[in-house]
Structure 1
């Protein structure tokens, strides 16, 4: 499953860049047949090949991390056995699956959603029946992984603006998250619906979804801070400035401290939060303040997120704020 994910992601990334496997093999000085076998999932990628492809595609270490899961898993056949016999689910298999998902989420930042949709879609399709038929003490852990996998699939479609596919996936992710009783998953699924509404320029839906995420019992403070700021932007879009400022005040008063955000929202650093605060100030027509927050947020992103497709929205907002200031 890991080798397949690696190969599909690399093939799609090459295709988007107009690079054939043969051309990539020639550029990297690899045998074409070997590279073809590896990218077809018939052979695990070597650490060196993963590193070379990572550098070639400017994946900032994310392809290396994904390939490493294959070598650290005792036997990739363990996952295949669980898929074929869900009743024999074991904790080690769940841990490997969680690692694959975490690596692929980081790949989204480096390669973009279109490169990851095929592999993520295929993996989620294989895992749904496993969850339905799984039994035993590790089922709850698997449920959380599958809920996040479907959520990630929904996010990829939303980010790629494949809205008609994103909506049912995020609805399914929300239902799965509620079953797991993991509040961070529920809040994040609601947050992604708010993101999609913002791309669709539907301010009332923006407010509705982000407020629902903000008020999710047990959501992490970092999630609530971001949700409050984004709901504030929705209010500003509606011309309800007092409500927008009230929520911005609530966001600034939330104490996050040194508590790291949950893995399902790993990007929610204090610096990242300034991006959504900047959007809210832009909606309030406070252009200089918006530009300050947006510039600080973009400059503070880690290297693997600097060119992520989702940053385009913030870069456009920064340009708009500077022009209007």
Structure 2
């Protein structure tokens, strides 16, 4: 099995720019690197991705580019022993064991962080490949280990569903969420079941289904055992749906409870499911601002969206998911008659869409740009 890598969407264009800057033809660069000129053409055009950091490093050396290309490739493989375990499970699913499950958990954690850095599109193929490995292992495991593999499978399916939603592939996302739900139900994992219901609510939000958005957000809040940060988010998500119906009183109540729970989440130091790593004060500020913008309270929305963006961890502001909040910040500024500020927000969103190859975000940014006459 190839070592999984994440490649910045700009890699091909940057390779071509550096090659042309060096006045080299594809054949000349091929001779200098021992790669075929066809392979280099496929890299430049995006038809293929480099198989590892070593490819980018060899190209950097030939182009004297000081590591520019290597910086665009992240090797997510672990130590050789871990890689060997994953290869073994991929070839022989019956060989799955506790160390292999731990290795797959570690890789999943890496993939989540890479989503923040590179966006959803570059990670879908790798994530689905790993999910296939887990599925095959699950079909061949019995006893106590099955519970661990079920938990792992639900998490991989949940993450894959997120990537598909972020890429606008809502149908496949729904199928993956259904699968995660079934696996979580088998182990009575209320944290994952609550999260899946919440994700289904988010899917409804993206599809414009207000009734399902409200219903699924409400359903996700029924189990009070769930992590407090998840419940805070679901109240904000519910507030969005209620705002769309024009029910101001219910919207305000959902926002109030959401803010109380968000404050509680900041002080919480108990066990937290791994997939909630991004539930930070900045994230909650963004969610509150989003709900306020949907409800037409533009001044408050600008305040919370701006503070949330400013308080994000270093580097997080270029994440694909942040682009959506920038679009809503632009909408809030537009509604307030602040065209310059709206333009700055949507241009930033468009640049994130280009960097992460997010067609869905690009479409949203382009629509607002047209309205602003940019």
Q: Does 1:201 align with 2:213?
A: no
What residue number does 2:286 align with?
Answer: 275
Where does structure 1 differ by over 6 angstroms across 4 or more consecutive aligned residues? 27-30
Distance in 2 between the 1:258 and 1:112 partners? 29
Compute the displacement of 1:259 (Å): 2.3
Distance in 2 between the 1:216 and 1:142 partners? 24
From 80, 90, 100, the counterpart of 2:107: 100
Distance in 2 between the 1:21 and 1:265 partners? 34
Distance in 1 between the 2:289 and 2:2 partners? 38
Distance in 1 between the 2:305 and 2:219 partners? 25
Q: Secondary structure at the match of 1:250?
A: helix
Q: Does 1:230 align with 2:237?
A: yes
Compute the displacement of 1:24 (Å): 8.8
Bigger drift between 233-242 and 257-266 goes to: 257-266
Contact 1:295-1:318 within 8 A present in 2 as well: yes
Aligned residue pair count: 308
CA RMSD of aligned residues (A): 3.2
Compute the displacement of 1:303 (Å): 2.9
Q: Secondary structure at the match of 1:215?
A: coil
**Cα pair distance change 1:106/1:75, threshold 3 Å:** closer
What residue number does 1:178 align with?
Answer: 185
From 304, 324, 337, the counterpart of 1:313: 324
**Cα pair distance change 1:285/1:132, threshold 3 Å:** same
What residue number does 2:223 align with?
Answer: 216
Distance in 1 between the 2:2 and 2:268 partners? 33
The aligned runs of 1:70-149 (5 Å cut-off) are 71=79, 73-149=80-156
Contact 1:204-1:238 within 8 A present in 2 as well: no
Bigger drift between 299-308 and 98-107 goes to: 299-308
Distance in 2 between the 1:153 and 1:301 partners? 24
Bigger drift between 192-201 and 95-104 goes to: 192-201
What residue number does 2:269 align with?
Answer: 259
Deviation per residue, 1:154-202 (Å, 9 max, x gap): 1111111012222111111222222233322222222222222112222
From 294, 308, 313, the counterpart of 1:302: 313
Contact 1:22-1:32 within 8 A present in 2 as well: no
**Cα pair distance change 1:31/1:275, threshold 3 Å:** same
What residue number does 1:19 align with?
Answer: 12
Structure 2: 5+ residue stretches without partners = 23-28, 41-47, 59-65, 337-374
Distance in 2 between the 1:112 and 1:149 partners? 16
From 28, 33, 40, the counterpart of 2:35: 33
**Cα pair distance change 1:150/1:281, threshold 3 Å:** same
**Cα pair distance change 1:54/1:183, threshold 3 Å:** farther
What residue number does 2:297 align with?
Answer: 286
Deviation per residue, 1:16-58 (Å, 9 max, x gap): x37179649959999363998x9665xx65699599578633x
Structure 1: 5+ residue stretches without partners = none
Q: Secondary structure at the match of 1:303?
A: coil
Contact 2:217-2:234 within 8 A present in 1 as well: yes
Distance in 1 between the 2:14 and 2:312 partners? 31
Distance in 1 between the 2:204 and 2:178 partners? 14
Deviation per residue, 1:57-91 (Å, 9 max, x gap): 3x7xxx25x24x2x2x5242222323444444322
Q: Does 1:56 align with 2:71?
A: yes
